[in-house]
Amino acid sequence: AFHLVDYCQQVGRAGRDGSSKCHAILYSFPHHAHVSRSMKKFVTEAKNKCLRSTLYTPFNENCEKVEPLNPGHSCCSFCALSCDCDGGCDYTLLPKVEEMEICSEKKVIRNVSDESKNLVREMLVESHEQQSSLLPLLTPPELVTGLSETVIESVVQNL
């Protein structure tokens, strides 16, 4: 979920039948740009305190703090770490996935011959012309095909 409200709904659906469920947040770097500020704030704040309280307090009517559940293992993964039920529970904590450093992208470099580049250019131009011939006269071909001379040249240069 990219938004806090959506995440709340997902968590709620997971435990709808009353049994305990777990829910994980996993993002890859390309998705990061789509995550809302409220969701980023939740992920940041929830590292060192009760997930349930952090998640539900903003939605509480009077902004009163939502208290953690007791015993801790029935609340969230953070509270489960400090659960004091003296081993009377059979709760298994999900393995923690650490945040990973964002590494620079690995680039695969290969040499593309001028002959291959020309072949790709010819194929793209041919595709563009074929699709353009099927369109009504008033429709700009670039709008429908997505292939303009600039796009074709950009593709060829980045081979």
Q: CB-based contacts of 72: which residues, under 8 Å, 6+ apart?
A: 79, 80, 81, 82, 83, 84, 85
Separation between Cα atoms, residue 92 and residue 56, nearest integer Å: 23
Identify the band that residue 136 occupies on the pLDDT scale cut at 50, 70 and 90.
Answer: low
Model confidence pLDDT, tens digit, residues 100-121: 555 555 566 778 889 988 998 8
Radius of gyration of the chain (CA): 26
Model confidence pLDDT, tens digit, residues 16-53: 676 666 666 666 656 667 788 888 888 787 778 888 88
> pTM for the whole thing?
0.48
Q: Residue 38 has which token pair?
A: 């409220």
